[in-house]
Amino acid sequence: MLEAPKQKTITTQAMEQIRQLIFDGELAAGSDHLESELADRLGMSRTPVREATLMLAQQGLLEVRPRKGVRIATLSLTDMEEIYAVLTELEALAAEEAAEKGYADDDLSALKQSIESMEDALKREDREAWALADDAFHAELVRLGGNSRVQSIVSMMANQVRRARAMTLYIRPLPVKSNEDHRAVYDAISKGDSERARNCHRSHRQHAREVLIELLKKHKLFQL
């Protein structure tokens, strides 16, 4: 006998409704809102709304300001374009250098596991689990490249990329193509094909940038 689906908590409902208001542009990027205002808008008490805003702050969608309410987060399109341009080249270099090292299958087990975790998350349509596995893939790819300076620069930019992805995670199509790209990069590295590894990963990052920028523009989740 199938179990009935669990009922969403009031806090979860509040989080989803506020997130949708942000994505729909009804809570504009850069705008300020009192906790009481949001509670009235949702027809809820302030406690679940407060808890929901703390969760959304962790996702990078807003900033909780003590005694001042919340401010809806903004991103600079120029910043994102510049960050992705640098990441694209550095991670493509890491993929190329990883392929040149002649790793055995065991050496690539963590990279392979991250891809399998992403695919499992997609089957369950668990976007947050997919995002965590995606983070693991990119971190492991850079580690396998073995270039400490690439690792340092990529690490410095990681939080900004996560924030942009968090803001678009629930309004983008399921990232099926992203998983296919990861498989292609893994396959090239495992076969020692450095040129293909570099080109596959560069193409992957360029596509990810295009999807991100388009969503930020469409939903006005950015500042000029």
Specify the pLDDT at position 44.
95
Specify the pLDDT at position 224.
60
pLDDT tens digits along 98-154 = 999 999 999 999 999 999 999 999 999 999 899 999 999 999 999 999 999 999 999
Specify the pLDDT at position 95.
98
Specify the pLDDT at position 83.
87
Mean pLDDT on 169-177: 89
pLDDT tens digits along 29-85 = 789 999 999 999 999 999 999 999 999 888 778 899 988 899 988 778 888 888 899
- DSSP string covering 35-104: HHHHHHHHT--HHHHHHHHHHHHHTTSEEEETTTEEEE---BHHHHHHHHHHHHHHHHHHHHHHHHTT--
Which one has a higher pLDDT value, 71 or 28? Answer: 71
Mean pLDDT on 18-34: 85
CA distances from 120 to 112, 116, 117, 125, 138 (A): 12, 6, 5, 9, 17
